[in-house]
Structure 1
Amino acid sequence: MRIRAFRRLWAVLSLSALGDWLGLLATSTFAAAQVDNSLAKGAAFGTVIAVRLLPALILGPMAGVLADRFDRRFTMAVCDVIRFVFFLSIPLATLFTDNPALVIGWAAVATFVIEAVAMLWTPAKEAAVPNLVPRARLEATNQLSLATTYGVTPVAAALLLAGLNSLLGQWDVPEWAEATDVALYFNALTFLANALIVFFLIPEISGRAAATGPGERKPGMLREFLEGWKFVGQTPLVRGLVLGILGAFAGGGVVVGTANLYARELYGGDAAFFLLFATLFIGLAGGIVAGPRLVGALSRRRWFGLSIILAAGSVIVLALAPQLAFAVTATLFVGAGAGMAFLSGTTLLGGEVDDEVRGRAFAVVQTGVRVVLMFTIALSSTLVGAGGRPTFDLGPFTVELSTTRILLIVAGVCGVMAGAGALKQMDDKHGVPLLADLWASVRGRPLVKAEPKPVRGLFLVFEGGDGAGKSTQVNLLADALRRAGRDVVVTREPGATTAGAQIRRLLLEGEAVAPRAEALLYAADRAHHVTTVVRPALDRGAVVISDRYVDSSLAYQGAGRTLPVQEVAWLSDWATGGLKPDLVVLLDLDPAVGLRRALSRSGGADLLESESLAFHERVRYQFLDLAANDSGRYLVLDAEREPEHVASVVLERVVELLPAPDRFQRRSDDRVT
């Protein structure tokens, strides 16, 4: 809201949303008020509602082309002027004719025109927003916009119309000043105000005029239309978004369409229907407002697919709910899932679709949502009304089926499939476990997508406590592989690089640092080490042998320093890009023996070696736990055995990992060829 251009656009959006909802309520009520027969009132009300669907069917696909083709500020201003004129003409029609059919007919015509220009105004506005705010604030921007459109303004419109009815009902006012007429006059003025604000106060919305250079001709509208649909069909992100959003709103439409009869099946009557209807929109607003906080740092592409699955799965739960309390809870989750899907989908469209085709992408979503929502509401309400509750006589007992519940189950299953399909197409973290990533993201530490692992080299790591003989075994293995003609790179952590050597001195020779600082320094060394030494060597097909790697941090900083092991693992995983060794050789040794070896070899203890025996015992058991949890990738050896025997076993295991053409055989005299 500190961004002036967006602040003004948000004011326009608020007025426009209020006008849309007030126009829907007032126009429908106005049409119904022109006749006295209850059946005719229902037909008039339904006719005006149905007319709102027609522009989406007829003009929706072309609206995006126009939004991308013309200057957006000019487009929005002209659309608002047209809406002002036609909303104003609806109540004025009664001044020219007393024929109810003509008045209702004109209201339907005006509604069609108003809805048609709204189909053009909306994608122009949506496509302009990402150009007004920083990309990092786009989600918060959409939260504010959607909460205003679907949370605040519907309630404000209903209260305003109810207030006008109550206020003017106390006075004897002329026919042209009835509550619905006054609401339509006010509504018309909101669109006039919008046109003036957009045209004179928000020049930043403009931008499509520069889409072509001097002397260049714009492509024809048909070509732009076909290119837009081709883009939607061939882009996995947009295709998944459209599939998922339509699936979510189809489920919501079925809930709305079946809610009346469903409420009666729960013996709740009209009060239960209104409760379920209100709960759906409360959930929608809750998902929009609270969703980003709930999922934390989860990938927005994954969040979108999971939101669809949440909404559809809740529809299935709703179908099976035995009591109203369960139904209300399930309905709340249906709305929350749909709200989160709409927010994440809108944010992805605005942030990841190029400006040149953004209007057409938004138009496809807008058209699909309107058509699917209206169609599923109408179809589901018709089916449950016609199906009723058929009873089957099975002899000893009878079975009564609920068409409403069957339809909800079908809608829920289809929605789950749509969400799963969207997630599969849009997932940007293939290979990262979904539920584990969700749980980690809620806690603020999403799992990291592993960088592609080199396919040519072999990455071997030696781990173990101090004095276990890692350096000796590293050198013995390296010598054996080099004699066999292999390209071998021997390295260590920390200290394999110039920067790493400085970090090593800080960690082992300088003043002791806090445990968290120590973990961060090891991660910094590891990130630089992997990027500059390990990956380049693996990429050229070398065998990389490292003295210590990630497991040392898990053991020393995790178990030894008693830091949360999962946090240390996440930090190391992020630092290495998910690079894992092909084999970890764990040299297991009693810490007391290992420390005596280390002290006799070096003559003095570094900061880690000087820690207590209990510290080193925790380190040892953590190493053993890690090996037990991933035994296929570990080779655990007794480090008290003769070094030559240990080296022989290690070499035998490494031979199995080498590519077939490069393997070498051992002769009876134990020489390597």
Structure 2
Amino acid sequence: MLGAASFGDWIGLLATALFAYGQFENPAAQGAAFSGTIAVRLLPALLLGPIAGVLADRFDRRYTMVITDLLRFVIYLSIPIVAIVSESAAITVTWITIATFLGETVTLIWIPAKEAAVPNLIPKSRIEISNQLTLVTTYGITPIMAALVLSAFTAGVQQSGVTVPDWAEPVQLALWINAFARLATALVVFFGIKEIGGKSPDRVKAAEQSMTRQFLDGWKYIGSTPLVRGLVLGIFGAFAAGGVVIGAARTFATSLGAGEAAFYLLFGVIFMGLALGIGLGPMIVKDLSRRRWFGMSIVLASGSVMFLGFAFHLSMALVGALLVGAGAGMAFLAGTTLLYGEIADELRGRVFAVVQIGVRMVLLLAITLAGILVGLGSSRRVELGPVHVDVSSTRVLLLVAGAIGIWVGIGSFRQMDDKRGVAVLADLWGSLRGRPLSPAESFVRAGIFVVFEGGEGAGKSTQVTRLAEALQATGRDVVVTREPGATPVGSRIRGLVLDKSESPSPRAEALLYAADRAHHVATVVRPALARGAVVISDRYVDSSLAYQGAGRTLPVQEISWLSAWATGGLKPDLVVLLDVDPGVGLTRVDSRGVGADRLESESRTFHERVRYAFLDLAAADPKRYLVLDAARPVEEITEAVSARLTGLLSAMDAAHPESMPPPPPAPSDVPDAPPIEEMAELLGDEEPRRRS
């Protein structure tokens, strides 16, 4: 049904626009005629578009679709009949204009009725697939077919030299197809889709209001709902980018030194990209957040428009046009799918009237304005060695339109982002591989999370103990922990991963560490941070990235995704990396007189890989890391850690004054406590000294 209706719509649009274009010889007049004919379809949307949504919500949607399709059948059938009967070209052109206006007016009522009925026919989980089929048909396959069929008709008649009757001219045939497609749609809906008839109780109740009140409520809902507003504006921006390219395509093709066929080629490639974006987009991005995908798609479409502005060869232009269509198609699919899930049935007609009619209006308006603007400008040929480029108003228009579209896409992304704090490119790459990143689990975090990392024998335990004692001496709530083995569950896991008698496989080892980390974070780290404690951990996520990733040569991205999922995205505020040469560190381990565990017994090459993996992680995030040479004296390392921690403690106290430690007791009351001046000097913090 949708295929027949859409094919007739697009072939009719092209036929009427090209008919007007052929009446003139001046390039500027041709561009204005082509765009002006399309502009006739804009006027009903500008005048009556918002009311159409009210009608779709107010009346039975099945009968609305049938009646409007029958009216369109009669209107579009009259165009070729008048062209045959009338002997005056002026009368024919006038009636084409009037019929186009009337047909578009009726279409405004059909579109929201159809869109509002779709979610009532299919389960919510299948809406995206349904939207794919609908949008590929409406904006992908049928425009391409229309352009190919019309161009094939025209080329066949011209090359054969056969004289055909007026009613069989290619443009006339296209108009016949357009009319009978409407009749076919009406019959299918009336006899084959009875499920969309009737009205829900909520729609009946809403219909008790006046049409004016329904109209105002619909617009108020769109304007006051940030997600819906962002989706609507973003969809308009994506299609505006495509419309600018279509409107400028004829002049742009000329600037590339291409002929008449290049226009049809660019037109077809844009809609081919639209079909590919809608059809293949979900398969490519998989489980990527649809809100993020929506904003990314707008940026892709708009950036591709800018790319077209720099294209100096038809092959480059075709690539740009394909990407423009793909970006617009993906944005439209993601946007409409999100809208279906957000809008109640009694409001759906009005909202989708704004979306669907707005898309047509924006697309046609962009085509019209682009055609007029490029017709008014001039061009200058610039020779860059063997490459000849026409610098024209067309290219300027493409660059400006692309820049505006990118701005709109970034704005939509920021407004709708549901994974704040998750790196965009990393999330996209993870989604392409089937493992999208998750946003950090939100919780009230009043404390500080400090992690000590490093190779074997780096002295982490010593520094953890010294820092904890210093902080406790100032009255702070301190939780000392480690991975693996900080909990009863973790102790059993620690025995499994460090016991040399039975070694788990590398992947099993990574999963065991992740299991320990998930339980550790949930039962120890998060509760302590929530109450305002300073949590000091001996090892955390980076140890898995270094040992299982680099050491065991497992894919680091997979280990990172697994750890992020296990911890809910919890990151430490400070990572102290004690860098030690493996030879020195392993010598320290041997000097303890205790047998080495399974990891300590690994080869020197293994520990070298671990060391450089730690250094690479620190180099990638220097603000969060403190890298210290583990060969330095213990006291110097402690002082450096305390100095770096001072700023974090001050910020924590300012943000959560309730977590500040009480003034420490006098030394006489606690004989075994070290003097407060010594602790203050150790921490590099003057505040305790002033309190004493």
TM-score (norm 2): 0.79
Give the letter for the 2:520 counterpart: H
Contact residue 70 and residue 209 of structure 1 kept, 8 A: no
| SS of 1:586 mapped into structure 2 | strand
Give the letter for the 1:540 counterpart: R
Match of 1:7 in 2: none
Match of 1:13 in 2: 2
1:229, CA displacement in angstroms? 2.0
Contact residue 22 and residue 161 of structure 1 kept, 8 A: yes
1:553, CA displacement in angstroms? 0.6
Give the letter for the 1:13 counterpart: L
CA separation in 2, counterparts of 1:327 and 1:376?
19
Match of 1:270 in 2: 260
Contact residue 454 and residue 535 of structure 1 kept, 8 A: no
Match of 1:432 in 2: 422
Match of 2:384 in 1: none
2:411 to 411, 415, 421: 421
Contact residue 51 and residue 112 of structure 1 kept, 8 A: yes
Match of 1:395 in 2: none
Q: Measured at CA, do residues 132 and 535 of structure 1 come closer, stay the same or move farther in structure 2, by a change above 3 Å? A: farther
Q: Measured at CA, do residues 89 and 615 of structure 1 come closer, stay the same or move farther in structure 2, by a change above 3 Å? A: same
Q: Measured at CA, do residues 231 and 276 of structure 1 come closer, stay the same or move farther in structure 2, by a change above 3 Å? A: same
Match of 2:678 in 1: 670
Q: Measured at CA, do residues 226 and 468 of structure 1 come closer, stay the same or move farther in structure 2, by a change above 3 Å? A: same
For 1:136-147, what aligned pairs fall within 5 Å after superposition?
A: 137-147=126-136
Give the letter for the 1:153 counterpart: T
1:524 to 503, 506, 515: 515
Q: Measured at CA, do residues 257 and 602 of structure 1 come closer, stay the same or move farther in structure 2, by a change above 3 Å? A: same
Match of 1:260 in 2: 250
In structure 1, list runs of 5 or more residues that go unmatched: 1-11, 392-398
Contact residue 35 and residue 367 of structure 2 kept, 8 A: no
Match of 2:530 in 1: 539
| SS of 1:670 mapped into structure 2 | helix
Deviation per CA, 1:579-608, whole angstroms, max 9, x where unpaired? 211222334555566557667869555433
Match of 2:58 in 1: 69
2:189 to 187, 198, 204: 198
Contact residue 71 and residue 209 of structure 1 kept, 8 A: no
2:332 to 312, 327, 342: 342
Match of 1:359 in 2: 349
Residue range with higher mean Cα deviation, 94-103 or 522-531: 94-103
Say whether 1:152 aligns with 2:160: no
Match of 1:567 in 2: 558
Contact residue 35 and residue 369 of structure 2 kept, 8 A: no
CA separation in 1, counterparts of 2:34 and 2:395?
28
| SS of 1:534 mapped into structure 2 | helix
Deviation per CA, 1:202-233, whole angstroms, max 9, x where unpaired? 344458523258x7864332222222222322
| SS of 1:563 mapped into structure 2 | coil
For 1:197-596, what aligned pairs fall within 5 Å after superposition?
A: 197-205=188-196, 208-212=199-203, 218-295=208-285, 297-389=287-379, 402-452=392-442, 454-509=444-499, 511-589=502-580, 591=582
1:187, CA displacement in angstroms? 4.7
1:175, CA displacement in angstroms? 7.7
CA separation in 2, counterparts of 1:267 and 1:183?
29
CA separation in 1, counterparts of 2:635 and 2:399?
67
Residue range with higher mean Cα deviation, 187-196 or 564-573: 187-196
1:163, CA displacement in angstroms? 8.1
Match of 1:123 in 2: 112
CA separation in 1, counterparts of 2:644 and 2:142?
69
In structure 2, list runs of 5 or more residues that go unmatched: 382-388, 665-673, 681-687
Contact residue 474 and residue 679 of structure 2 kept, 8 A: no
Contact residue 251 and residue 394 of structure 2 kept, 8 A: yes
Q: Measured at CA, do residues 618 and 126 of structure 1 come closer, stay the same or move farther in structure 2, by a change above 3 Å? A: same
CA separation in 2, counterparts of 1:599 and 1:139?
61
Contact residue 48 and residue 107 of structure 1 kept, 8 A: no
TM-score (norm 1): 0.81
1:20, CA displacement in angstroms? 1.8
| SS of 1:262 mapped into structure 2 | helix
1:520, CA displacement in angstroms? 2.4
CA separation in 2, counterparts of 1:51 and 1:590?
77
CA separation in 2, counterparts of 1:625 and 1:407?
45
Contact residue 55 and residue 112 of structure 1 kept, 8 A: yes
| SS of 2:678 mapped into structure 1 | coil
Give the letter for the 2:577 counterpart: L
Once superposed, what is the RMSD of the aligned Cα atoms?
4.4
Match of 2:48 in 1: 59
Residues matched between the structures, number: 652
Give the letter for the 1:246 counterpart: F
Q: Measured at CA, do residues 592 and 299 of structure 1 come closer, stay the same or move farther in structure 2, by a change above 3 Å? A: same
Q: Measured at CA, do residues 643 and 20 of structure 1 come closer, stay the same or move farther in structure 2, by a change above 3 Å? A: same
Contact residue 39 and residue 368 of structure 2 kept, 8 A: no
1:632, CA displacement in angstroms? 4.2
Give the letter for the 2:193 counterpart: I
Match of 2:385 in 1: none
Deviation per CA, 1:422-454, whole angstroms, max 9, x where unpaired? 333233333434444444444444444334475
CA separation in 2, counterparts of 1:160 and 1:386?
31
For 1:73-84, what aligned pairs fall within 5 Å after superposition?
A: 73-84=62-73
1:557, CA displacement in angstroms? 0.6
Residue range with higher mean Cα deviation, 622-631 or 588-597: 588-597
Q: Measured at CA, do residues 205 and 469 of structure 1 come closer, stay the same or move farther in structure 2, by a change above 3 Å? A: farther
Residue range with higher mean Cα deviation, 273-282 or 53-62: 273-282
Q: Measured at CA, do residues 483 and 17 of structure 1 come closer, stay the same or move farther in structure 2, by a change above 3 Å? A: same
1:626 to 609, 617, 621: 617
1:456, CA displacement in angstroms? 1.4
Deviation per CA, 1:249-292, whole angstroms, max 9, x where unpaired? 33333333333333333333424433333333333333333444
Contact residue 111 and residue 357 of structure 2 kept, 8 A: no
Residue range with higher mean Cα deviation, 279-288 or 129-138: 129-138
1:334, CA displacement in angstroms? 3.0
CA separation in 2, counterparts of 1:94 and 1:71?
36
Deviation per CA, 1:312-366, whole angstroms, max 9, x where unpaired? 3333333333344443443333333333333333333334444443333322222
Q: Measured at CA, do residues 179 and 355 of structure 1 come closer, stay the same or move farther in structure 2, by a change above 3 Å? A: same
CA separation in 2, counterparts of 1:556 and 1:90?
75
Q: Measured at CA, do residues 95 and 582 of structure 1 come closer, stay the same or move farther in structure 2, by a change above 3 Å? A: closer
CA separation in 1, counterparts of 2:552 and 2:260?
62
| SS of 1:345 mapped into structure 2 | helix
Match of 2:671 in 1: none
Give the letter for the 1:77 counterpart: V
Give the letter for the 1:67 counterpart: A
